[in-house]
Structure 1
Amino acid sequence: MKWHHVQENWPAFYEAILDKWPAADEADLDEIDGDQRAFIAYIAETTGSDLDEVREELREWLMGEIPSDVVMDPLHDNHSIKLSGKFVNEGEDEYSDDASFGDDEREGE
């Protein structure tokens, strides 16, 4: 995942952040509001770690999967649906009911 995923869905990442950095506090995360530099500085201060060490931990954490509660967020869904448009046949709308996708050439109809 990329930091912009985290920033755009900041509150949805709280649980994953607290799993990785249990010393973090949700009220403090509210104040950080997705600012990457502020987050790195906060984690370094909270854990007593070096900034470079926190940056490396963050890089590793970002290599993981997007948490399911973020994936289920409607904003993320709409983005995924839009990206899926390249796989939808011409003349079909990627936002249409997907039960009708590919039904254009059904035999007997």
Structure 2
Amino acid sequence: MKWHHVQDNWAAFYEAIIDRWPDADEAELDEIDGDQRAFITYIAELTEQEPADARDEIRDWLTGELPSDVVMDPRHDDQSIRLSGKYLPEGEDESDDDARYGDGE
């Protein structure tokens, strides 16, 4: 995932952040509000490591899955539906009812 996923859906990532860094505090996360530099600084302080090491740790964390709250976000769904259009046969629209094409069962 990219940082913009985190930034745009900051509160949805709280559980994932606390799972990864159990000492993280929700009040502190509220203050960070998706700011990447502030988050790196916070994780560096929280884990008592250099900011570069914290940045690497966060980069590794970003390779994980999107939280379900983000995946279920209608903005994300709409984008996924639009992208699915490239897999549809000619003449079928990504928003069309599947029953019209005999594949809705």
User: Could you tell me the TM-score, scaled by structure 2's length?
Assistant: 0.84
Deviation at 1:73, TM superposition (A): 1.7
Residue of structure 2 equivalent to 1:11:
11
For the aligned residue pairs, the C-alpha RMSD in angstroms reads 1.9
The sequence identity of aligned pairs, in percent, is 67
Residue of structure 2 equivalent to 1:26:
26
Residue type of the partner of 1:100? A
Contiguous gaps of at least 5 residues in structure 1 = 105-109
Residue of structure 1 equivalent to 2:74:
74
Deviation at 1:30, TM superposition (A): 1.6
User: Could you tell me the TM-score, scaled by structure 1's length?
Assistant: 0.81
Aligned length, in residue pairs: 103
Whether 1:56 aligns to 2:62 is: no
CA distance in 2, matches of 1:42, 1:93: 46
Contiguous gaps of at least 5 residues in structure 2 = none
Cα pair 1:44 1:51 within 8 Å, conserved: yes
Structure possessing the higher radius of gyration over alpha carbons: 1
Cα pair 1:92 1:101 within 8 Å, conserved: no
Correspondences of 1:76-95 after superposition (within 5 Å): 76-95=76-95
Q: Which runs of 4+ in 1 moved over 4 A?
A: none
Superimposed CA distance per residue, residues 18-55 of structure 1 (whole angstroms, 9 cap, x where no aligned partner): 10011111122122121111110111122222111111
